[in-house]
Structure 1
Amino acid sequence: MMGGRRDGPLMRNASQSTVKSRILMAIATGISLGCVFAFLYPHGFFSSSAPTFHSRLTQVPSTKCESSEKLNELKTEYAAASIRNAELRQQVKELIEKLKLAEQGKDHAQKQVEALGKQHKAGSFGTVKGLKTNPTVIPDESVNPRLAKFLENVAVQRELIVALANWNVKDSLEIWFTSIKRVGIRNYLVVALDDKIAEFCESNDVPVYKRDPDEGIDSIGRAGTNHAVSGLKFRILREFLQLGYSVLLSDVDIVYLQNPFNYLYRDSDVESMTDGHNNMTAYGFDDVFDEPTMGWARYAHTIRLWVYNSGFFYIRPTIPSIELLDRVASRLAREPKSWDQAVFNEELFFPSHPGYEGIYAARRTMDFYLFMNSKVLFKTVRKDARLSKFKPVIIHVNYHPNKLERMKAIVEYYVNGNQDALKAFPDGSDW
């Protein structure tokens, strides 16, 4: 019986290899086709929105153009945003400044309420005392960090003498700071209005502060007249008060014979020397105005007071004090021909009335024999045997134009003991 055909091992192996090769070829073909379709139809084979290969190629340049335009738009938007950001930063800075001022005002009001808010019974006759001393502001070193650091090394108990000077008053300034050194005063400072006076102070070991450049102030400071320079102090002093320092503002035509800080009361916003020459003119008096045509009512009583001298006054860092400086500086800017001393007194003394709100600042008049003006000295004191032996705290040569000669004579009389040093001078300005 014939047996059936059987394949040998070799044939079986060849057949299996063929099958495997076909399978591998099919897999490779499928993968290749899948890659091609994935490239040509990224959104799917049946998607109607899938772009063709040709459309993809044609869109490349368009995309580059759109990117360039988009980049330019972004640059423009960035520039606009930068400008807006700078504006916002400035607005924020201004708002912070207003907030600080508001907080200072709030602190002032709060302390007033604390002092006055609690109700009290009125005491017995003659014992009632009202509030006189306003609270000081919160020091704000951000106003001028450089000045704040400088004052830490100059001021004593947060107060100091301050004078403004340019080269025009160099000789008077030298007598001024020499007299201060002689008395032993340490807390004083010259605000230099030009480079030459700053160098002069440094060479004489005098504390000097040169302000940051300010074209408006610098032009007046370098070449301004005495009145023009005098008007600057109200703007410059504001920073000292904002930093929390009390200032004894001093002109340079002053000779110091004692330490003025030992004679201050410090109970008012402004404590000033007077242009008055006796008790009446210095401290006030009832002056009767006579108008005969009024008949029975011909006599009208008025209160008179000779003005405070704006060349020597002590000012505390309070809200009313800063308001005073702001008002005077603003008026002098609007009225360049106005005299700073007249404006200073008007703002300090004029009461509130219809259309005007006065400043509610406490004020004190200094003893006119201690803080002496040159009219008192040359018209009265030098001729009086008793008064001529009295030693003032300071003498301000404010009534006479030949300041330097009279300052030297004052030093001769009070420091060197020359009893004839003052005799040659007339009472007034005429020889």
Structure 2
Amino acid sequence: MAVGRREKGQTFRPSRIAAAITIGVLGGCILVFFFPHGLFSPSDPGSSTQRVSISRSESTGSDACQSHEKVERLMSDITSLSEKNEELMKQIGVLKGKLRSVEQGKDGAQTQYSALAEPRKAGPFGTVKGLRTNPTVLPDDSVNPRLAKLLEEVAIGKELIVALANSNVKDMLEVWFTSIKRVGIPNYLVVALDDEIANFCKQNDVPIYQRDPDNGIDTVGKTGGNHAVSGLKFRILREFLQLGYSVLLSDVDIVYLQNPFDHLYRDSDVESMSDGHNNMTAYGYNDVFDEPSMGWARYAHTMRIWVYNSGFFYIRPTLPSIELLDRVADRVARENAWDQAVFNEELFFPSHPGYDGLYAARRTMDMYQFMNSKVLFKTVRKDPNLSKLKPVIVHVNYHPDKLPRMKAVVEFYVNGKKDALQPFPDGSQ
């Protein structure tokens, strides 16, 4: 019996423990539900909150002052760095310009060296060729960004026709660009030297470029005559070459009958039409000078060639070409000389004591393709065979009555009027 009771008591003890645990858990859940912040709280809950708030306020004010001081210091540092950066950029710009000049010279020097200084054997008889074509310069858009952008739109194959014009030649300019349009030449540009010409070209859908005024230089272009404008063109032309463009420089007393770019060789620095009127005068000849007082040595052989026409020539963007433009522009300004005479002297005079000649390659254009008005009126119009040939251009350079002769050239070659050239004398009256 005793054993049985013990077994019965042992059976009920775990049930009481489990019940106590269950009651405790339930009571805890009830307390948590009704008193989420606990049974005990601080005697003055606001005081703790106030202390925290004050502390935060003091901290915020201190941080704000420190942040303001830091911002001021940073702004000061930024201003100082900005000024230093601007100065560095200016110095970099100067250095880039010097480097560009060095690279241009290096380019030409390396090409010359590789072609001339590198030891090598000569080829078979008749096969040896010397260097004729100089390397082009490195284009420099910083010279004139506005012109550079315009040339990207107008030029084709980095080349174009360029003419300078003011209101004094307005009528001839109209014949000039009308003939260009008729042939279908798209890459041409008029450098307008006054507002009247600029507006006239705009009205006729002719591409123009107007320079920015610079210390009175453009006054020459606005009011000067033919020779004054001719001198100005060498200074203007320099920018085109610096930008890397080949230019067919054209006076406005020219009628275009074919596209000249289809008839250029492009193997020289300067490719120019001649003022010569036959093979000897245009391309050169041996002229014998006779001095009887010298007896046995009375005959002296001289080399002669008639001058290049500075109103129509193709010039490539090379260092010798730019040097040529600089020389001519400088001499015309200092000596008040005729630009065409100076142009030829600089191209042809060799180096000699006290003078360094220009080492520029040159080519003479075909005188029947690129025809001056002496060739036309003195020879071609009187020859049945030559008069059948159609030139690329006709330059009315030998005659002062330019406009009527230009119109007659159009009538003869374009409209087929056989007697259009007959009323004019060979020369001027």
Report matched runs for 1:27-426 at 5 Å. Answer: 96-336=96-336, 338-426=337-425
Query: SS in structure 1 opposite 2:323?
Result: helix
> How far is 1:121 from its partner?
1.1
Query: Structure 1 residues 87 and 398, CA, compared in 2 at 3 Å: closer, same or farther?
Result: farther
The residue type paired with residue 104 of structure 1 is Q
Q: Counterpart of 1:42?
A: none
Local SS of the residue matching 2:121:
coil
Q: Deviations over 1:354-388 (max 9, x none)?
A: 00000100000000000000000000000000000
SS of equivalent residue, structure 1 residue 215: coil
Query: Unaligned 5+ residue runs, structure 2?
Result: 1-79
After superposition, what is the alpha-carbon deviation per residue over 1:158-182, rounded to whole angstroms, capped at 9, x for unaligned?
A: 0000000000000000000000000
CA distance in 2, matches of 1:258, 1:309: 19
Give the Å deviation of 1:87: 10
Tell me what 2:426 maps to. Answer: 427
Looking at structure 1, the residues matched to 410 and 285 of structure 2 have their Cα atoms a distance apart, in angstroms, of: 34
Match of 2:66? none
Q: Which moved more, 1:128-137 or 1:118-127?
A: 118-127
Question: Structure 2 vs 1, CA of residues 90 and 227 (structure 1 numbering), >3 Å: closer, same or farther?
Answer: farther
Query: Matches of 2:196 and 2:329 in 1, distance apart?
Result: 26
Residues 88 and 428 of structure 1: CA distance in aligned 2, closer, same or farther (over 3 Å): farther
In 1: Cα distance, 2:266 partner to 2:424 partner:
36
Amino acid at match of 2:400: P
1:295 positional shift: 1.0
Displacement after TM superposition at 1:86 (Å):
10
Structure 1: runs of 5 or more not aligned: 1-77
Letter in 2 for 1:256: Y
Report SS of the residue matched to 1:364: strand
4+ residue runs of structure 1 moved beyond 4 angstroms?
Answer: 85-96
How many pairs are equivalent?
A: 348
- Percent identity of paired positions between Structure 1 and Structure 2: 78
User: Cα–Cα, structure 1 residues 358 and 91, in superposed 2: closer, same or farther, change >3 Å?
Assistant: farther
Aligned equivalents of 1:420, 1:87: Cα separation in 2? 70
Q: Secondary structure at the match of 2:189?
A: strand
Q: 1:202 to 1:91 in 2, by over 3 A?
A: same
Structure 2 Cα separation of the partners of residues 114 and 316 of structure 1: 21
**Superposition deviation, residue 92 in structure 1:** 7.0
Q: What's the C-alpha RMSD, in Å, of the aligned pairs?
A: 1.9
SS state at 2:273 partner: strand
Task: Provide the secondary structure at the position in 2 that maps to 1:361.
Answer: coil
- Normalised to the residue count of structure 2, the TM-score between the two structures is 0.78
Structure 2 SS opposite 1:412:
helix
TM-score (norm 1): 0.78
Q: CA–CA distance in 2 between the matches of 1:107 and 1:313?
A: 25
Distance 2:202 2:193 in 1: 14
SS of the aligned residue for 2:170 comes to: helix
Higher mean alpha-carbon deviation, 266-275 vs 93-102, is at 93-102
Determine the C-alpha separation between the residues in 2 that align with 1:114 and 1:299. Answer: 42
